[in-house]
Each structure stands twice: as structure tokens, then as C-alpha cells.
């Protein structure tokens, strides 16, 4: 089955994207990437130490991956744009995940600033993947601004609470014709699977893998779950019924 995801002109084989924060050591990241099968890997520019050999996160990300730096730490559109420019100038490529957070208590994304940053960065030729609160009107604005995908949160970042925004994400999937990637909040493989079953183009997972007892095995578990969910979506799950369907229907005599 040919089921490639295309973003920013790149064909992406794996629908599991992963993040590199919160791990007990950078040295396990290559194994995590390998077992997850992930091709798109996000890392905060603020964490990349270009001046160090040993501590430079980029050293642990295989060259055949698509590096998607993120603008973690940006408090407004202007800061996100500056971080994106630094990332590109430092050789991190053209993909950028916009993360604008002006609320430190819940780390919820600021959609308005995110839209502004997207407009500016698309004009500068970036492939922009904005992290948002799932809101249909904002998602449309982002699409119109030229975003390559939208990345609604499943639950507040780091909470592992699962796909709490399910109904809103479903609406985005139905209405927005650019890839909808569920980012943040996914805590278990079953929840990643659920997101894929309802038609998400991909999921991005970090905390759930990084803080697992065995991150490498958990990465593989997520890879399997994402594949299972995708296949279920493509094959079309049977409808859920409220009542059992009688084998001798009451209205059969009308036929």
C-alpha cells in the first residue's frame, strides 16, 4: 500500500514524529530513533549546543532524518521568527515547528502569535508546522497563511493525558486539507493509535517516550501503534452501533 505523507515537498515514510527533550541521556536517542522508525525529529534550538562536540544534540540525530527545529522559548511571533532564522543559518534546514508560548503555567500555545509567525516565516520560504490549540478558524487562517501542516495538541504538553481534544481534532481533520498532526499530550501507544484511527496524518511524541522506563522499547511500541492506527483508518473501521443488530429484523416482512 503506497501511503506516503508529503510535507514541504518531502516524502515521509513514518507517521510517528519524535521529540528529543527530557531524555536521561542524549546517547540513547539514536536507538530511540531507530526503533521508532521516525524520520522527522524535532529538537529545541535553545538546547542545541553548536560549540560542543559531546553535548551537541545534532550529533545523535542520523543524517537521513528530517530535522525539525522548534522555537521553544519564544513568547511572541517576533521571537519565534528570530529563533527560526538562527536555526536555518546554523544549518538546521528549512523545516520549523513554531511553538509560541506566553503562558508558563500550562504551556498552552498562543494561536494568535503563532499565526503571525507563520505568515512571516512562510514569506521567508520556511516549511512551517505550527503547534496550536485545536481551533477550526485558526487552523484555516494557518492554512491560508501557507502552513505545511497544523499540529493541534491532544492535551497540555507533558501531561500524558491522551487525546482529550478528540472532537476538536476530528473537526480539523475533516475540514482542513493540509496534514493534521497531533502534537503533545499523547501518553500511551493506544492514544497514538486512537489519533491515527480518526485520521490524523501523524503524531508527535516526546515525553511519553523520553520518560518511559525503557524509552527504546516504548519507541517501538509507539511505532507499532501508529502503524496499526493508520491501517485501521485506511481500511475504514466499521460503524459503532447503539443497539445489537437483530439477525431476524422486525421490518423484514416489508422487503
Partner 1 sequence: MSFYERYLEYKNFDFEGFFNKVTDRDIVNIMNKDRLTELDFLMLLSEKAANYLEPLAQKAKKLTLQNFGKVIFLYTPMYLANYCVNQCVYCGFNITNSIKRRKLTLEEVEKEAKAISSTGLRHILILTGESRKESSVQYIKECVKILRKYFRSISIEVYPLEENEYVQLIDAGVDGITLYQEVYNEEKYKMLHLKGPKRNYLHRIDAPERACRASMRSVNIGALFGLHDWRTEAFYAGIHADYLQDKYTDVEISLSLPRIRPHCGSFMPDCKVEDRDLVQIMISYRLFMPRAGITISTRESERLRNNLIGLGVTKMSAASSTEVGGHSLENKSEGQFDISDKRNVEEMKEMIYSKGYQPVFKDWQAI
Residues 6 or more apart from 131 whose CB is under 8 A from it? 70, 97, 98, 99, 109, 114, 151, 153, 183, 184
Closest CA to 5 of 27, 34, 38: 38
Binding of residue 233 to partner 1 (CB under 8 A): no
162 binds partner 1 (CB under 8 A): no
Residue 207 sits in the site that holds partner 1 (CB under 8 A): yes
Report in angstroms how near the CB of residue 77 gets to partner 1 at its nearest. 13
- Rounded-to-integer distance, Cα 154 and Cα 182, Å: 6
**206 known ligand binder:** yes
Question: What is the nearest approach in angstroms of partner 1 to the Cβ of residue 154?
Answer: 15
Cα–Cα distances (Å) from 199 to 27, 82, 135, 140, in that order, read 34, 33, 17, 18
Q: Among residue numbers 115 through 134, which ones bind partner 1 (CB under 8 A)?
A: none
- Active site (catalytic) residues: 97
* HEC sequence for 169-214: HHHHHHHCCCCEEEECCCCCHHHHHHHHHCCCCEEEECHHHHCCCC
Q: Work out how close the CB of 73 gets to partner 1 at its nearest, in angstroms, rounded to a whole number.
A: 7
Grid cell 560549540 — which residue?
51
Residue 59 binds partner 1, judged by CB under 8 A: no
**Toward partner 1, which CB reaches closer, 3 or 103?**
103
The residue range among 59-67, 76-84, 169-177, 230-238 that interacts with partner 1, by the rule CB under 8 A, is 76-84
Q: Is position 160 an interface residue for partner 1 (rule: CB under 8 A)?
A: yes
For 55-164, strand residue ranges (E) read 66-70, 95-98, 127-132, 151-152
Q: Verify binding: residue 23, partner 1, rule CB under 8 A.
A: yes
Mark the binding-site residues for 1-deoxy-D-xylulose 5-phosphate, compressed into ranges: 158, 184-185, 206-207
- Residues binding partner 1 (CB under 8 A): 21-26, 45-49, 51-52, 54-55, 73, 75, 79, 82-83, 86, 101-107, 158-160, 207, 210-211
Amino acid at each position: 500500500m503506497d501511503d506516503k505523507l508529503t510535507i514541504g515537498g518531502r516524502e515521509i515514510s513514518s507517521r510517528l514524529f519524535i521529540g528529543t527533550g527530557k531524555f536521561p541521556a542524549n546517547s540513547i536517542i539514536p536507538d530511540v530513533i531507530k526503533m521508532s522508525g521516525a524520520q522527522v525529529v524535532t529538537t529545541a534550538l535553545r538546547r542545541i549546543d553548536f560549540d560542543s562536540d559531546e553535548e551537541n544534540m545534532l550529533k545523535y540525530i542520523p543524517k537521513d532524518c528530517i530535522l525539525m527545529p522548534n522555537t521553544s522559548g519564544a513568547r511572541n511571533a517576533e521571537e519565534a521568527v528570530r529563533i527560526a532564522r538562527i536555526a536555518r543559518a546554523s544549518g538546521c534546514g528549512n523545516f520549523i515547528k513554531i511553538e509560541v508560548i506566553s503562558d508558563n503555567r500550562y504551556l498552552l500555545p498562543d494561536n494568535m502569535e503563532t499565526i503571525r509567525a507563520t505568515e512571516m516565516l512562510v514569506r521567508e520560504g520556511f516549511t512551517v508546522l505550527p503547534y496550536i490549540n485545536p481551533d477550526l478558524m485558526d487552523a484555516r487562517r494557518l492554512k491560508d497563511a501557507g502552513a505545511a501542516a497544523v499540529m493541534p495538541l491532544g492535551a497540555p504538553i507533558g501531561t500524558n493525558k491522551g487525546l482529550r481534544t478528540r472532537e476538536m481534532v476530528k473537526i480539523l481533520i475533516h475540514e482542513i486539507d493540509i496534514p493534521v498532526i497531533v502534537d503533545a499530550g499523547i501518553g500511551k501507544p493506544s492514544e497514538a493509535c486512537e489519533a491515527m484511527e480518526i485520521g490524523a496524518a501523524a503524531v508527535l511524541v516526546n515525553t511519553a517516550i523520553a520518560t518511559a522506563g525503557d524509552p527504546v522499547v516504548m519507541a517501538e511500541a509507539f511505532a507499532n501503534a501508529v502503524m496499526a492506527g493508520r491501517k485501521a483508518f485506511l481500511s475504514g473501521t466499521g460503524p459503532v452501533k447503539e443497539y445489537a443488530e437483530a439477525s431476524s429484523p422486525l421490518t423484514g416482512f416489508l422487503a
